Each structure stands twice: as structure tokens, then as C-alpha cells.
């Protein structure tokens, strides 16, 4: 609080105390009953101090009037708090017990009489009425008898908020006084008028229609009906009071009064509601503050990924990692199994408080998964539970809130019990969350567990404050979030040569020194690859050219899709035993995909399961390259924002040969080397996956995926093969005959291609060396921007360096997870659409 504000508040509190005029001691209050007073009516305003107290009201006849009190009785009072203590001729005493400042209302009726001399009875009977008036002010929602007893010690929380509906309300109850016995017109005019003052300049008061109420205002209760007002603090206030005074005075100048107490502080939740900072720190932002409670796809709140990943490569799904032991987990050298998630990060949630009462506790209301209720798991059980995440939510609750990040060991017990889990709907002292003092901030960490089922932003984290043990927690702020599962897996068969005698493989590297060598390398490899027949015992120089495919999984509000996607693959008569056997035997063949058709999902999924997901103890399924052990399939897994996932899905679902602007810009698939074909619009499996990834913005620099990292700006010659008609990779008729077993082996076609290609290349000016791109020449050159599976596999290995996995003593880099909370700019792929024919 600033010095200016402190001085202003101190001055106001001094003036407030003077105006209250309340007694700080317990004393009798005397009512003098004057038989000459009109209507015999008397009023006494009794200033009862804070807290329960007792008062004694003495009724006495006017001295020297010769009257005594004939009788009196209590005709009205507060909850039987008043009672007649004693009655003598010259004094009747009434007592008030356990009363509070708004509970002094009473009405006592009786008679005065004047005894005749000589015992001849009484004369001159006079009726009297004694009234103790009362005013009453209460916080809305705190108007019961129990609340009244706590009123003078209870501090109601008044949030600092621009939300009109969440501002604190208080009620001026109807005045209890007697209009019938008002002694004057002026006195009657004041009957339902009250004065409102408060103890700090940091508080504003409004009517429900938004009209401001000035400090010291005289308010008239229309028809003596209750009046609701709004308390709106403009700055944190540790404690304040609002006092109500009746404007009708008694003969001693006293007025009935009542007061309520309040407190306020700034308390906010802050999360990255604009989805601009990923798992980074959410800095204060006015726009984010304005939208953090909105809903709908445009305002999803914070997008949180379902934490079923394995970013540290220890085979433990991350929602079971870091807080409990997993039986059978080996772990990596950099960490003990289940101790933490190396390289992991949760979404940050900032709790900020200012001028918090010393006895306050925070309460978090959210749909939680309590880690203490997650039972013991073996490694196989943990992996099986992770597999269920592709189609549903295996755990209940949507999120967990921790006091520690993912890359730090966490204790699954509640913070109130020495752990790190923020238990929902439980009062948590400030120091248990790491808040020292009553002002400051603490960063908590949100882990996504189950996807949001209904609508964007409807899941909520609510912050409530409990200012004392018995008080009801008060909602002070909330933020919306949406848990999603958007997975994109790039999968690549490693190109290889195969030795049938030893069962070993090695990576095949095409020669990209020049366009001529590149094309010859591809053609020669295809010839050698197809040389297998019964008389051959080995073909260690033959090369499987690799294959790229992908998987897209999207589970968001309103969308649930999962598919394998790829174009080209391994097919043919000899593959009836499945791709695993064909690859092991070295008999894998290229297959032709019709324009716009995808690979069969079941086959693609089977390849992934057999050659990547399953453990493969046989060395035949591994490749040797520079001493690094690798599985045959390399995988890079992206967790992406919903917008990015939709871009990927639109690429595969909306693409067509006409070049739909949202889809891929070509119509058929074959070898990744772009050759002249029937409609000059072919590309291969690697190009399909590469362009889909490039289109999404996940790889914004084309060079990251092109050969050697620097060929994106080079051109390659188109090799027109005039006397051989082929569609994707080989002969039309001959290819069909080959697949049916009625024709010659496909190697004959590739020998023809290689021979004719060599002649054409030799005569082409750009064929011997790579050169900067010239102006396009129709039918001669086009951009070299293809994606080669061997290069893609190298790229995956490089990217996966951060998450190596060690299994069965083998250190391999065939998988990795990249979490992309950003929404990258999509690539329009214009260079593909606009390339010359």
C-alpha cells in the first residue's frame, strides 16, 4: 500500500471512530418516564460495542413527579434476548444478554400511576412506551442468526474484480423503530433514513444499477424495504469496516448503529490463455486476462496435451512417471527409473496474491486425478495403459496440479501432508504452497491426464479463498483449459542392403554427387534389389530404397480421428507372408498406388508394430551403420496444437490431382526421384510425408529435409524415356505381368531405364554437377525438392539425440518426442504447385 493511501486510510479510520461514538464500557442506560410527555413515548439508542455484551435498561419515573411505575411488559424484542430482571415501584430493570450491535431492538409498554395521599388508591394513570431502535447491515449470504453472532469478528472477502456479478454485496435491512410515537414531523422524516460511512478511501460503494454512493450519504429506505449495495475495493485492504447510522437521535443525541467488517486482497490465477508461451512462464497480459474464462473453439483456454508421451525414453508413459516406482523399468543412465521425466515440462499456472490475511488458505477446485490413488504398475501394465490413450482416457480426472515440474522428482502425497500434489477442494495454507508472507506469487504445474470431452474451455481451475476456519471459501478467480491429444508420427523404413547368409543389414546410401550419379544410383539399386531368385545365395549390394509413412491421431472437443497414411509401400505376390518376412528375406518389392489412394491402414499399422513397436532380439531386424544400433523403422513423434493437427489432416483428406489449396499438390506417388510421367505430377512416399510435415509448419525450412541440407535451391534434369511407357516407378504392362508372375522380373525394366537415362544424362548440360537454379526450361528441368527416406531417417536420428533409449543393452535413437505448443505458420508449398512441367 502506498504512503498516500496509508495516510488517507488512517485519517478516514480516525473520523470513522469518532462518528461511531460507541461505548467502550458496559454501563446502565436510564430512561426517565415523564407523565407529562406527549404520548408517554421514550427512545433510547444503545451503543453496544463490538462483540457479545450485556446492557441494563432502567425505567425510572421523573424525579419529584410523584409517580411510580404501575406495570411494564416487554412486547417486542430480538430473539428473546431482552428479559425483565426486576420490578420495583420506582425502578423496573430490563437486561439484554449476549447481544450484538444490531440486536438491541425492544419495545416495552407500561403505566405510570400516582398514589393518593392517605392510601386512597391511584390517580392520573399515564401509558408509556419505551423503544430501543435498531438498524441492521449484513453481508449478502450472511444474514442468519448464526451469522449475526459472528458478525463483529467475521471479515467478509470482497474481491477486486471487473466482473459485476462477482462483486461483494451487502444489505441494509429495514429500520426497527416506532413511527406512531414520533415526537415531531422532522423526527418522523428521519425514521427510515440512514447514514453510510466506511473506513478507507480504497473502497467504493455502488447501487445495483451502477450509481455511485458517496461516503457519508444519507440513504432513505423506500417503504422501509431492504436495500442491497455493492462493495467494490480498488486496492488490497487488509481490513475495513462499513457502518450504518440511524438518522433519528434520542434525547442524548445518540443514534442506533450497526457495522460489518470486510477484507480484500488481489488474488489471481494466470495461465497462458492465448497459447503463446507453450510450457513457458505466462507473463501478465491484459488480453489473456480478458479471455481466460471464455469458452468455445475460438477461446479454448490453455491447450494442455494429454501426458501419455515418453519424452525421456524410459518406456514409462509420462503420466505414470516421476512419482512412483514401476516394476521392471530399467531407466536411463541420466535418471533412475520413475524418478523424474528428464526433459519433461508441465504447463505453468501462476497464483498471485497481495495483502492476503494471515490466516487465509487457498482452495483449488478442479477435476483432478489424484496420483495417490494410482496403484502399482509393472512396466508392461504401464505400457498397456499408454496404448489405451490412442482411443480413450484410461485414467479418471482431467488434470493434476503439482508444486514441481515434470523434470523434478515428485511426491504424490498432498502438499498439506508434505507431498507435491495440490489436492482439490482442500484448504491449503499459503506457506504450504511456498508463499512466504501475504504478498507474492508461486508457480504451480499442470499435467494433462484425460482429454476434454464436451466443449473448448469448459474445464476450469477455480481459486477460492478461505479467510478463517469456519468460513465458506469464496471464489476469487478461475481459468479455463482444454486437454487434447494431437499426435503426428513420422515413420521411415531405413534403406538397407541385406546379407542373406548372416542376416545383417547396413544402411544404403545413394550417391548424390551429381544428377547423373544420383539417378544411376537409384536405378542400379533397383536392378540389384530385384536380382533375388532361387540360384542366388546373397545380394549384399542390393538396396531396399526405404519407405515413409505417418500416423495422425486427433482427439479434441468435436473431433475424434485416427489414421495411418502413406503412399507407395511394399506389395506383391511374394509378400503374402507379410512385410516382416519379406524384409527379412530380402524380397520386398515396390508397389503401385493409384492416384490419390492411401496405403492400406492395416498393413501400415502392421509394419509399424512388427518393425518398430515390438522388441526384436534377432539382429536380423537391426541395421549397422557406423557402429550405431538401430531398429529398421525410425520414428519422430510430434505433439502438436489442434490447429496444426487439422492442417495435417486436411493435407491428406483434401488433396487431389488438381492441387487443392489445402492439400498436397500432386496426384500420384512413386519413386522420390521426380521423373517424367504421364501427367508430370508424381512424387514418392518420402515426398508425401515430407510435404505433409512441411505444410503443417513443423519443418519450416525445406533444407532440413533435403539432401545434404543444401539442395533445396538446386534443379535436376528431367530424363525423358521416350521408348518406355511407365506410370509410377516402372513399366505399365510389364509391371502388371511381373506382379502376376507371368512376365519378366522388374529388374529388366530398371536396366532399360538406367541405360536410357545414362544416354540422356550424358547429353544434358546440368547433369554432371549441381548448379544454381536457372530459369525453368519446360520439359528439361524442374526443382529438386524431393524427400528421400534415407535422409529423413538421418534427420530423425539427429532429432532424437535428446531422447535416446537403452533397451537390452542397446542404445538406439529410433524414436523421439517433440512437443510443439506453438502454432507455426503453414507452408503454402507454392514451389511444388508452380514448378514447370
pLDDT higher than 70, residue 168 = yes
Quick one: pLDDT at residue 498? 60
Which range has highest mean pLDDT (219-228, 538-547, 695-704, 805-814)?
A: 219-228
Q: How many CB atoms lie within 10 A of CB 169?
A: 15
* Four-point Cα dihedral 107, 108, 110, 114, nearest 10: -120
Which range has highest mean pLDDT (333-337, 372-376, 427-431, 480-484)?
A: 480-484
Quick one: pLDDT at residue 122? 61
Question: For the chain, what is the mean pLDDT?
Answer: 76
pLDDT higher than 80, residue 380 = yes
The mean-pLDDT minimum among 312-316, 360-364, 487-491, 732-736 falls in 732-736
**pLDDT band, very low/low/confident/very high, at 321 (cuts 50, 70, 90):** very high
**pLDDT band, very low/low/confident/very high, at 591 (cuts 50, 70, 90):** very low
Written as nine digits, the cell of 548 is: 515413409
Q: What are phi and psi of 555, to 5 degrees?
A: -135, 100
Q: How far apart are CA 772 and CA 769, in angstroms?
A: 10
pLDDT higher than 90, residue 708 = no
Quick one: pLDDT at residue 220? 94
pLDDT higher than 60, residue 817 = yes
Quick one: pLDDT at residue 319? 95
What tens digit of pLDDT does each residue of 14-67 get?
Answer: 444 444 444 334 568 999 998 887 667 888 898 887 677 788 999 999 988 889
Q: What are phi and psi of 49, to 5 degrees?
A: -70, 175
Q: How far apart are CA 99 and CA 145, in angstroms?
A: 11
Q: Does residue 463 sit in helix, strand or coil? A: strand
Quick one: pLDDT at residue 664? 57
With a pLDDT cut of 70, the percent of the chain lying above it is 66
Quick one: pLDDT at residue 139? 94
pLDDT higher than 70, residue 676 = no
Which range has highest mean pLDDT (336-345, 582-591, 806-815)?
A: 336-345
What tens digit of pLDDT does each residue of 189-241 get?
Answer: 899 999 999 999 999 999 999 999 999 999 999 999 999 999 999 988 888 99
> What value does the mean pLDDT take over residues 247-260?
90
Taking the CA atoms of the chain, what radius of gyration do you get in angstroms? 42
H or E element at residue 692: helix 685-696
Q: How far apart are CA 682 and CA 727, in angstroms?
A: 9
With the C-alpha atoms ordered 819, 825, 830, 833, is the resulting torsion angle positive or negative?
positive
Top-confidence residue, 468 or 9: 468
- Percent helix, strand, coil in the chain, to 5, is 20, 30, 45
pLDDT higher than 80, residue 496 = no
**pLDDT band, very low/low/confident/very high, at 728 (cuts 50, 70, 90):** very low
Which range has highest mean pLDDT (96-110, 401-415, 557-571)?
A: 401-415
Quick one: pLDDT at residue 297? 93
Give 504-551 as a DSSP string.
Answer: -EEE-----SSHHHHHHHHHHHHHHHTT--TT-S-EEEEEE--EEEEE
Tell me the residue ranges of DSSP E strands in 78-121.
Answer: 82-88, 91-99, 106-115
pLDDT higher than 70, residue 270 = yes
514 and 744 in contact (C-beta within 8 Å)?
no
What tens digit of pLDDT does each residue of 627-652 get?
Answer: 445 667 888 899 999 999 998 988 88
The mean-pLDDT minimum among 67-71, 549-553, 618-622 falls in 618-622
**pLDDT band, very low/low/confident/very high, at 332 (cuts 50, 70, 90):** low
What tens digit of pLDDT does each residue of 601-629 get?
Answer: 888 887 777 666 655 434 444 444 444 45
With the C-alpha atoms ordered 306, 311, 316, 322, is the resulting torsion angle positive or negative?
negative
Q: How far apart are CA 806 and CA 109, in angstroms?
A: 94
836 and 777 in contact (C-beta within 8 Å)?
yes
Instruction: Report how far apart, in Å, the C-alpha atoms of 770 and of each of 707, 710, 716 are.
Output: 12, 11, 8
Residues whose CB is less than 8 angstroms from the CB of residue 686 and which lie 6 or more positions away in sequence, other chains included: 492, 546, 548, 672, 786, 787, 788, 789, 791, 792
Residues whose CB is less than 8 angstroms from the CB of residue 52 and which lie 6 or more positions away in sequence, other chains included: 98, 99, 100, 149
> What value does the mean pLDDT take over residues 722-735?
37
Quick one: pLDDT at residue 672? 41
The mean-pLDDT minimum among 344-353, 414-423, 593-602 falls in 593-602
Top-confidence residue, 727 or 559: 559
Quick one: pLDDT at residue 770? 62
The helix-helix angle for 685-696 and 642-654 (nearest 10°) equals 140
Q: Does residue 750 sit in helix, strand or coil? A: helix
Query: 475-512 burial string, b = 16+ CB within 10 Å, else e?
Result: ebbbbbbbbbbbbbbbbbbbbbbbbbeeebbbbbebeb
Residue of 280, 323, 249 lying closest to 21 (CA atoms): 249
Query: 1-10 burial string, b = 16+ CB within 10 Å, else e?
Result: eeeebeeebe
Top-confidence residue, 688 or 458: 458
Q: How many CB atoms lie within 10 A of CB 371?
A: 24
Quick one: pLDDT at residue 793? 81
590 and 552 in contact (C-beta within 8 Å)?
no
Quick one: pLDDT at residue 331? 58
pLDDT higher than 50, residue 342 = yes
With a pLDDT cut of 90, the percent of the chain lying above it is 37
Amino acid at each position: 500500500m502506498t504512503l498516500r493511501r496509508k495516510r488517507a486510510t488512517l485519517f478516514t479510520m480516525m473520523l470513522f471512530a469518532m462518528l461511531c461514538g460507541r461505548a467502550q464500557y458496559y454501563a446502565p442506560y436510564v430512561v426517565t418516564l415523564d407523565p407529562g410527555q406527549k404520548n408517554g413515548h421514550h427512545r433510547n439508542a444503545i451503543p453496544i460495542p463490538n462483540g457479545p455484551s450485556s446492557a441494563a435498561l432502567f425505567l425510572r419515573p421523573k424525579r419529584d413527579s410523584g409517580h411510580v411505575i404501575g406495570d411494564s411488559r416487554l412486547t417486542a424484542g430480538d430473539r428473546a434476548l431482552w428479559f425483565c430482571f426486576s420490578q420495583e415501584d420506582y425502578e423496573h430493570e430490563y437486561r439484554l444478554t449476549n447481544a450484538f450491535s444490531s440486536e438491541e431492538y425492544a419495545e416495552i409498554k407500561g403505566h405510570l400511576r400516582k398514589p393518593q395521599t392517605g392510601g386512597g388508591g391511584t390517580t392520573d394513570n399515564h401509558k408509556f412506551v419505551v423503544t430501543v431502535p435498531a438498524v441492521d447491515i449484513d453481508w449478502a449470504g450472511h444474514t442468519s442468526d448464526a451469522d449475526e453472532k459472528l458478525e463483529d469478528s467475521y471479515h467478509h472477502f470482497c474481491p477486486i474484480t471487473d466482473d459485476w456479478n462477482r462483486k461483494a454485496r451487502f444489505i441494509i435491512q429495514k429500520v426497527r423503530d416506532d413511527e406512531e410515537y414520533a415526537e415531531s414531523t422532522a423526527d418522523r422524516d428521519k425514521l427510515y433514513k440512514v447514514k453510510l460511512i466506511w473506513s478507507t478511501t480504497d473502497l467504493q460503494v455502488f447501487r445495483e444499477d451502477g450509481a455511485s454512493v458517496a461516503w457519508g450519504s444519507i440513504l432513505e429506505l423506500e417503504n422501509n424495504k431492504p436495500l442491497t449495495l455493492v462493495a467494490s475495493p480498488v486496492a488490497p485492504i487488509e481490513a475495513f469496516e462499513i457502518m450504518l447510522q440511524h438518522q433519528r437521535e434520542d434525547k442524548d443525541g445518540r443514534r442506533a448503529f450497526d457495522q460489518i467488517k470486510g477484507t480484500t486482497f488481489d488474488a489471481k490465477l494466470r495461465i497462458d490463455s492465448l497459447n503463446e508461451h507453450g510450457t513457458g512462464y505466462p507473463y501478465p497480459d491484459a488480453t489473456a486476462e480478458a479471455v481466460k474464462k471464455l469458452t468455445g473453439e475460438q477461446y479454448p483456454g490453455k491447450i494442455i496435451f494429454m501426458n501419455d508421451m515418453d519424452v525421456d525414453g524410459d518406456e514409462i508413459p509420462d503420466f505414470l512417471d516421476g512419482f512412483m516406482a514401476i516394476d521392471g523399468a530399467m531407466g536411463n543412465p541420466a535418471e533412475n527409473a520413475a524418478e523424474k521425466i528428464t526433459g519433461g515440462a508441465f504447463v505453468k499456472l501462476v497464483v498471485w496474491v497481495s495483502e492476503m490475511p494471515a490466516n487465509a488458505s487457498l482452495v483449488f477446485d478442479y477435476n483432478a486425478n489424484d496420483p495417490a490413488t494410482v496403484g502399482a504398475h509393472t512396466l508392461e501394465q504401464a505400457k498397456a495403459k499408454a496404448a489405451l490413450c490412442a482411443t480413450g482416457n484410461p485414467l479418471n480426472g482431467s488434470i493434476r496440479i503439482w508444486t514441481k515440474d515434470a523434470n523434478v522428482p515428485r511426491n504424490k502425497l498432498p502438499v498439506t501432508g508434505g507431498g507435491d500434489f495440490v489436492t482439490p477442494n482442500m484448504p491449503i495454507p499459503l506457506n504450504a504452497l511456498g508463499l512466504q508472507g501475504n504478498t507474492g506469487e508461486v508457480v504451480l504445474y499442470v499435467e494433462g491426464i484425460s482429454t476434454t470431452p464436451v466443449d473448448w474451455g469448459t474445464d476450469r481451475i477455480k481459486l477460492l479463498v478461505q479467510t478463517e476456519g469456519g468460513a465458506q471459501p469464496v471464489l476469487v478467480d478461475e481459468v479455463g483449459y482444454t486437454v487434447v491429444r494431437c499426435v503426428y508420427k513420422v515413420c521411415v523404413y531405413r534403406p538397407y542392403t541385406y546379407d542373406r547368409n548372416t542376416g545383417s543389414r547396413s544402411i544404403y546410401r545413394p550417391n548424390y554427387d551429381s544428377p547423373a550419379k544420383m539417378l544411376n544410383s537409384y536405378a542400379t539399386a533397383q536392378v540389384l534389389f530385384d536380382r533375388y531368385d532361387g540360384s542366388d545365395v546373397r545380394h549384399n549390394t542390393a538396396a531396399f530404397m526405404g519407405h515413409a509413412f505417418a500416423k495422425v491421431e486427433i482427439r479434441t472437443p468435436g473431433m475424434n480421428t485416427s489414421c495411418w497414411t502413406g503412399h507407395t509401400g511394399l506389395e506383391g505376390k511374394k509378400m503374402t507372408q507379410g512385410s516382416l518376412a519379406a524384409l527379412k528375406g530380402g524380397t520386398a518389392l515396390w508397389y503401385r498406388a493409384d492416384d490419390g489412394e492411401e496405403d492400406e491402414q492395416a498393413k501400415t499399422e502392421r509394419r509399424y508394430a512388427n518393425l518398430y513397436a515390438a522388441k526384436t532380439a534377432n539382429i536380423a531386424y537391426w541395421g549397422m551403420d557406423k557402429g550405431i544400433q538401430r531398429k529398421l523403422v525410425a520414428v519422430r513423434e510430434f505433439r502438436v496444437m489442434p490447429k496444426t493437427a487439422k492442417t495435417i489432416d486436411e493435407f491428406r483428406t483434401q488433396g487431389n490431382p488438381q492441387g487443392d489449396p489445402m492439400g498436397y499438390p500432386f496426384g500420384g506417388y512413386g519413386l522420390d526421384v521426380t521423373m517424367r510421367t504421364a501427367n508430370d505430377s508424381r512424387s514418392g512416399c518420402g515426398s508425401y510425408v515430407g510435404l505433409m510435415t512441411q505444410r503443417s509448419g513443423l519443418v519450416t525450412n525445406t533444407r532440413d529435409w533435403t539432401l545434404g541440407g543444401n539442395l533445396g535451391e538446386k534443379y535436376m534434369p528431367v530424363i525423358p524415356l521416350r521408348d518406355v511407357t511407365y506410370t509410377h516407378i516402372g513399366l505399365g504392362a510389364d509391371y502388371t505381368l511381373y506382379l502376376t508372375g507371368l512376365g519378366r522380373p522388374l529388374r529388366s525394366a530398371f536396366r532399360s531405364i538406367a541405360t536410357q537415362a545414362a544416354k540422356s544424362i550424358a547429353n544434358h548440360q546440368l547433369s554432371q554437377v549441381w548448379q544454381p537454379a536457372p530459369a525453368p526450361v519446360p520439359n528439361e528441368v524442374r526443382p529438386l525438392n524431393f524427400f528421400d527416406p534415407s535422409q529423413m531417417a538421418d534427420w530423425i536420428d539427429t532429432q532424437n539425440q535428446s531422447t535416446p533409449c537403452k533397451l537390452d543393452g542397446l542404445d538406439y535413437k529410433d524414436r523421439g518426442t517433440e512437443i510443439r505448443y506453438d502454432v507455426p505458420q503453414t507452408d503454402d508449398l507454392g514451389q511444388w504447385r508452380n514448378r514447370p512441367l
